[in-house]
């Protein structure tokens, strides 16, 4: 909805792109998203519970993994519930304040998760390349400070970024070509002056993201170099097994977002944009718990204790110790 005020168009709500106009397909979309959403919630909540209550998992790696699961729950909860509600009620509208909220929290959870994955790469680097210094470098205080710094600094950055985005004048209409509010689609609706200002901030964000990616790559080059020097095959396998889940999660998260934001807009269709958005906004939060628990013996053991009801009786709440 748009309202004319003093010869200027004021947007009061936005229209999101739906997956289909066919009622049966809308219901199918609702059911599929509901299953994915519940699976993501259950998987990440299980990770949080077993890490919090199993004393064998009170280490820096699992502390960061618990933070990652919290972020994943927030990340998938931003676009999916509203999209399901729209499909169920056969509508596409989202209020202006609702759009602001989606932009803020989606960016906050996404960027904080990426920052946390960078910290986790550093944790693996210290553990494998400098094991004698691990307890000193990755102590309880340092881990809490790193996690808190990521959450707080990204919160401030996201607030400034979101404020700058919605300071723009949306004179290109109110139809957002995506199933949730995201900044690239909103920029298409902005006037040219504001668009250039916001584009500068996006370029800065991309450079920052690439810097984190380079840091992760360099860390893993050092890790693989160190692993190849381990004399025993069992030692090499054990070292790689602690890194492989993190590497898969980083690759899934980074490359889906890169494909979504760096592909030529002229060669993409609305259907392709929707599918790509599902890949980077819905699939990682659902897949991350599976990737981290699939080959992790400690998490599997903790899950078995949880299912047997022994986890809460023998262990205290998470105060990880080194």
Higher-confidence residue: 310 or 16? Answer: 16
Q: What is the C-alpha separation between 100 and 13, in angstroms, rounded?
A: 10
Q: What domains does the chain contain, in order, with CATH numbers?
A: 12-314 (1.20.1070.10)
Please answer whether residues 111 and 149 qualify as being in contact, where contact means their C-beta atoms are separated by less than 8 angstroms.
Answer: no
Closest to 83 (Cα-Cα) out of 148, 37, 24, 44:
37
CA angle 154, 159, 164 (to 5 degrees): 125
Percent of the chain with pLDDT over 70: 84
DSSP annotation of 190 reads B
Q: Output the pTM of the full model.
A: 0.86
Q: Name the most confidently modeled range: 4-8, 111-115, 277-281, 307-311.
A: 111-115
- Burial of 293 from C-beta contacts in 10 A (0-12 / 13-18 / 19+): buried
Rounded CA separation 91/81 (Å)? 13
Give, to the nearest 10 degrees, the angle between helix 233-262 and helix 270-281: 150
Q: Which of 124, 109, 30 is nearest to 73 (CA)?
A: 109
Residue-level pLDDT at 209: 81
E-assigned strands of 181-290? none
Lowest mean pLDDT among 85-89, 137-141, 227-231: 227-231
Of 98, 235, 264, 258, give the one whose Cα is nearest residue 176. 98
Determine how many CB atoms are found less than 10 A away from the CB of residue 69: 22
Residue 215, pLDDT score: 93
Rounded distance between C-alpha atoms, residue 288 and residue 155, angstroms:
23
Query: Whole-number mean pLDDT of the chain?
Result: 83
Rounded to whole angstroms, the Cα distance separating 134 from 122 reads 11
CA 203-205-207 angle, 5° bins: 70
Tokens of 116: 């946390």
Quick one: pLDDT band at residue 7, thresholds 50, 70, 90?
very low
Strand partners, 50: none
Looking at residue 185, its pLDDT comes to: 81
The DSSP code for 134 is H
- Kindly give, in sequence order, each residue whose CB lies less than 8 Å from that of residue 259, ignoring residues fewer than 6 positions away: 276, 279, 280
What does the pLDDT look like over 246-264, one tens digit per residue? 888 888 887 777 776 666 5
79 near 102, Cβ under 8 Å?
yes
Give the CB-side neighbour count of residue 118, counting CA atoms within 13 A: 19
The pLDDT assigned to 193 comes to 57
Mean pLDDT of the 268-276 span: 69
Q: Would the pLDDT of 3 be above 80?
A: no
Q: What is the mean pLDDT of residues 141-166?
A: 90
Residue 16 pairs in a beta bridge with 176
- Of 89-98, 103-112, 182-191, 238-247, the poorest mean pLDDT is in 182-191
- The pLDDT assigned to 10 comes to 67
Calculate what percentage of the chain has a pLDDT beyond 90: 34
pLDDT tens track for 154-207: 999 899 888 888 887 777 678 888 889 988 788 777 765 555 565 667 677 778
Q: Between 322 and 283, name the one with better pLDDT.
A: 283
Q: Between residues 156 and 5, which one has the greater pLDDT?
A: 156
Res. 296: pLDDT tops 90: no
Which of the two residues, 167 and 316, has the higher pLDDT score?
167
Lowest mean pLDDT across 6-10, 40-44, 159-163, 287-291: 6-10
Q: Residue 24 and residue 206: Cα distance in Å, rounded?
A: 39
pLDDT tens digit sequence for 26-82: 899 999 999 999 999 999 999 999 998 888 888 999 999 999 999 999 999 999 999
Cα–Cα dist 195/186, whole Å: 9
Q: Distance between CA 42 and CA 50 in Å, rounded?
A: 12
* Residue 181 to residue 13: CA distance in whole angstroms: 11
Q: Which of 54, 48, 56 is nearest to 313 (CA)?
A: 54
Cα separation, 239 vs 224, whole angstroms? 9
């Amino acid at each position: 909805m748009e309202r004319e005020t003093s010869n200027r168009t004021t947007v009061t709500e936005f229209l999101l792109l739906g997956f289909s106009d066919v009622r049966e397909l809308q219901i199918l979309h609702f059911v599929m998203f509901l299953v994915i959403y519940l699976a993501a919630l259950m998987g990440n909540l299980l990770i949080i519970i077993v890490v919090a209550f199993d004393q064998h998992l009170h280490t820096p790696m699992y502390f960061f993994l618990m933070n990652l699961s919290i972020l994943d729950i927030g990340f998938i909860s931003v676009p999916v519930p509203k999209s399901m509600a729209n499909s169920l009620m056969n509508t596409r509208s989202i209020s202006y304040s609702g759009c602001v909220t989606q932009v803020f929290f989606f960016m906050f959870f996404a960027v904080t998760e990426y920052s946390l994955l960078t910290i986790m790469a550093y944790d693996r680097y210290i553990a494998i390349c400098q094991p004698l210094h691990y307890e000193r470098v990755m102590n309880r205080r340092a881990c809490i400070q790193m996690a808190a710094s990521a959450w707080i600094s990204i919160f401030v950055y996201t607030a400034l970024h979101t404020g700058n985005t919605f300071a723009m004048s949306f004179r290109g209409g109110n139809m957002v070509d995506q199933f949730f509010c995201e900044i690239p689609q909103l920029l298409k609706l902005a006037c040219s002056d504001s668009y250039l200002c916001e584009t500068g901030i996006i370029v800065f964000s991309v450079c920052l993201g690439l810097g984190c990616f380079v840091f992760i790559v360099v860390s893993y080059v050092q890790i693989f170099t160190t692993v190849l020097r381990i004399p025993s095959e069992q030692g090499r396998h054990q070292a790689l097994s602690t890194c492989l889940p993190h590497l898969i999660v980083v690759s899934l998260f980074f490359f889906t977002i890169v494909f979504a934001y760096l592909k030529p807009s002229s060669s993409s269709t609305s259907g392709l944009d929707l599918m790509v958005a599902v890949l980077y906004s819905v699939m990682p939060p659902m897949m991350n718990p599976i990737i981290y628990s699939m080959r992790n013996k400690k998490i599997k053991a903790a899950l078995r204790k949880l299912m047997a009801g022994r986890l809460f009786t023998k262990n205290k709440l998470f105060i990880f110790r080194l």
